[in-house]
């Protein structure tokens, strides 16, 4: 078990503040956050490349906070594999096995190469490898020393779609075989496909990065604790404001009143309106839950069309192509949108409840936000 207890460091005007986290043996944990949030810095702290100002790190009950890199039993793979260019693939993999007899070393290298699917590349130099092949060599070199935890820094970001899928499959296999993995990325869909749990790292207005939320990917998606987390995991119609007497008043458009299904909701919070929960059609507003806006943007998307309507609030929706064509509108035209109260999911601060992703956008589909 990897335990991070109130770990902190300040570098210039950036601070990683009191990070606490436990990664269980055999777990696949993905740390998410935008660029500049401190994800790579946290991995470097765990690997021993940087000393923290406060807190401690334990692995299997042993305090490794002050141990040198070579005694930590962790492996760190960077976004761009750091292979020795003057060595062959076989020599790179064998680098950490120098204490073994030569025959044992050759056998171990062959086993790892076959396991990583790079057996035919052992005589090649790193400069001749593709990005995916180089990452596999990097993984093989780390696995050669039997690390208790693999630390992966954006390992898929430089790969094309096919190679990314291949490497994700390999990482899932390693984890199923018992390898503990801590993987950082900015891609929530990548995390969703790999992680047992995720953590969202956020740098606040004071330049301090903290863990905003931790949990299973679906739970974090369905129960975001802040507008930052909600937007980061893919929700588009997210608004902060206040609830009063069965209505929500967004901060960015106080004149807009969104009816809530929960008429007892009061106080500060945020709302999420699933794209599939908005009905659109016609040129004139009709009914208490309907507003007239202006069609501000149209973009093709898988399975249909993404549109944005400025109705006092910027509202995003997903429609089928036929549904959009049936509206008969062009950019700048008036368009009515109806937001039923059941589609306005209120999250009281600081303890939100789960939004319901299902709705009934006329002409639309229940698409992932």
* pLDDT tens by residue, the chain, 369 residues: 999 999 999 998 899 989 999 999 999 999 999 988 999 999 999 999 999 999 999 999 999 999 998 899 999 988 888 899 999 999 999 988 887 888 888 999 999 999 888 999 999 999 999 888 998 899 899 888 889 999 999 888 877 888 888 889 989 999 999 999 999 999 999 999 999 999 999 998 888 999 999 999 999 998 898 999 999 999 999 999 999 999 999 999 988 999 999 888 999 999 999 998 898 875 554 555 888 899 999 999 888 999 999 998 999 999 999 999 998 899 999 999 999 999 999 988 864 333 333 333 333 333 333
Give CA–CA dist 327/334, Å, rounded: 11
**Is the whole model's pTM more than 0.75, yes or no?**
yes
Three-class SS of residue 347?
strand
The closest of 322, 326, 318 to 366, measured between CA atoms, is: 318
Residue 135: count other Cβ atoms within 10 Å of its Cβ: 30
C-beta of residue 341 within 8 angstroms of C-beta of residue 263: no
Residue 307: count other Cβ atoms within 10 Å of its Cβ: 26
C-beta of residue 161 within 8 angstroms of C-beta of residue 169: no
Domains of the chain by start residue, with CATH: 2-222 (3.40.50.300), 235-348 (2.40.50.100)
Give CA–CA dist 90/325, Å, rounded: 58
311 secondary structure, DSSP code: S
């Amino acid at each position: 078990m990897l335990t991070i207890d109130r770990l902190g460091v300040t570098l210039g005007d950036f601070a990683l503040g009191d990070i606490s986290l436990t990664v269980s043996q055999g777990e696949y944990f993905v740390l998410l956050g935008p660029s500049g949030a401190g994800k790579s810095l946290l991995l470097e702290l765990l690997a021993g490349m940087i000393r923290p100002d406060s807190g401690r790190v334990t692995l299997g009950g042993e305090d490794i906070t002050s141990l040198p890199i070579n005694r930590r039993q962790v492996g760190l793979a960077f976004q761009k594999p750091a292979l020795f260019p003057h060595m062959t693939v076989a020599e790179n993999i064998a680098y950490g096995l120098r204490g073994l007899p030569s025959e044992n070393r050759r056998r171990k290298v062959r086993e790892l190469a076959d396991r990583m699917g790079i057996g035919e590349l052992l005589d090649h130099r790193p400069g001749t490898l593709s990005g995916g092949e180089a990452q596999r060599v990097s993984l093989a070199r780390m696995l050669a020393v039997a690390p208790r935890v693999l630390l992966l820094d954006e390992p898929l970001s430089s790969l094309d779609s096919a190679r990314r899928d291949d490497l994700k499959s390999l990482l899932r296999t390693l984890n199923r075989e018992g390898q503990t993995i801590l993987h950082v990325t900015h891609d929530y869909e990548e995390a969703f496909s790999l992680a047992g749990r995720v953590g969202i790292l956020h740098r606040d207005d004071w330049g301090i990065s903290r863990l905003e939320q931790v949990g299973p990917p679906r739970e974090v998606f369905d129960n975001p604790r802040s507008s930052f987390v909600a937007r980061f995991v893919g929700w588009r119609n997210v608004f902060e404001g206040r609830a009063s007497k069965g209505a929500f008043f967004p901060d960015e458009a106080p004149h807009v009143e969104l009816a809530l299904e929960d008429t007892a909701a009061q106080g500060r919070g945020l709302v999420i309106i699933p794209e599939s929960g908005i009905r659109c059609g016609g040129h004139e507003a009709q009914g208490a839950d309907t507003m007239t806006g202006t069609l501000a943007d149209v973009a093709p998307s898988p399975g249909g069309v993404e549109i944005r309507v400025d109705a006092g609030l910027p509202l995003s929706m997903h429609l089928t192509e036929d549904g959009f064509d049936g509206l008969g509108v062009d950019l700048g035209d008036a368009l009515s949108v109806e937001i039923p109260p059941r589609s306005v999911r209120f999250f009281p601060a600081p303890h939100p409840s789960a939004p319901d992703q299902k709705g009934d956008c006329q002409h639309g589909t229940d698409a992932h936000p």
